[in-house]
């Protein structure tokens, strides 16, 4: 095991160490004045059951950051193991909704169909988090279906398998 103090000079090593923690993969969507926008995020977590709160953390350096920081309403979609291409599409282009199976909720938030779970949220709080912000959302509506989650670890996508 290698020990180090995280600095700007060894940021890659710090990212690699963080990458050993496997996460699920989400797409977060919101409505903007110019149309729907999405961003891929693996920084998603439950926060509270009462009230129902979740959080996610977009990078301040993202071109899409201003839209999500300003969004009063948004949806977090937990991707299934078959949705790698969807994740990669939105990682490249946040406006790639053409031909996508989606609808909009009463607030105009794009709701992507076929995901493993979806959380429709109202912005509850935003906290500074260094080069990211922590966006806390109150969950107004949740949906889920059976299936295997898309997992991200060490820079690669995969699927969860049971350990016997």
Q: What CATH number is associated with residue 70?
A: 2.30.110.10
Indicate if the pLDDT at residue 48 is higher than 90: yes
pLDDT at 98: 93
In a domain, 104, yes or no: yes
Taking residues 131-156, what's their average pLDDT? 95
Asked whether residue 21 carries a pLDDT value surpassing 90, the answer given is no
Query: What pLDDT was estimated at residue 163?
Result: 80
Is 123 among the domain residues? yes
- The predicted structure's pLDDT at residue 68: 96
pTM: 0.93
Task: Give me the DSSP letters along the chain.
Answer: -------GGGHHHHHHHHHTS-EE-EEEEEEETTEEEEEEE--EEEEETTTTEEEE--BTTSTTHHHHHH-SEEEEEEPBTT-HHHHHHHHH-TT--TT--EEE-TT--EEETT-SEEEEEEEEEEEEETTEEEEEEEEEEEEE-SSPBEEEETTEEEE-----
- On the question of pLDDT at 16 being above 90, the answer is no
pLDDT at 135: 98
Per the domain annotation, does 139 fall within a domain? yes
What pLDDT does residue 4 have?
87
Distance, CA of 8 to CA of 132 (rounded, Å): 15
Q: Which domain holds residue 117?
A: 23-150
Q: How far is residue 80's CA from residue 7's CA, in Å, rounded to a whole number?
A: 35
Which pLDDT score is estimated for 147?
Answer: 93
For the chain, the domain total comes to 1
Question: Which pLDDT score, from 0 to 100, does residue 20 have?
Answer: 83
Domain annotation covers residue 126: yes
pLDDT at 32 > cutoff 90: yes
The closest alpha carbon to 70, from 108, 33, 16, belongs to 33
């Amino acid at each position: 095991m290698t020990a180090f103090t995280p600095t700007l000079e060894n940021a890659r090593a710090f990212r690699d160490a963080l990458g050993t923690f496997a996460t699920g993969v989400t797409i977060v969507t919101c409505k903007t004045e110019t149309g729907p926008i999405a961003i891929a995020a693996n920084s998603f977590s439950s926060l509270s059951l009462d009230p129902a709160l979740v959080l996610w953390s977009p990078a301040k350096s993202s071109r899409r950051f201003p839209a999500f920081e300003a969004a009063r309403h948004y949806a977090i979609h937990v991707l299934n193991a078959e949705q790698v291409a969807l994740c990669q599409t939105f990682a490249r282009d946040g406006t790639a909704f053409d031909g996508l199976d989606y609808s909009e909720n009463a607030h105009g938030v794009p709701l992507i169909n076929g995901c493993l779970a979806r959380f429709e949220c109202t912005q509850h709080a935003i906290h500074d988090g260094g080069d990211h912000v922590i966006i806390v959302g109150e969950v107004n509506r949740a949906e889920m279906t059976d299936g295997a989650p898309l997992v991200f670890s060490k820079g690669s996508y995969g699927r969860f398998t049971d350990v016997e």
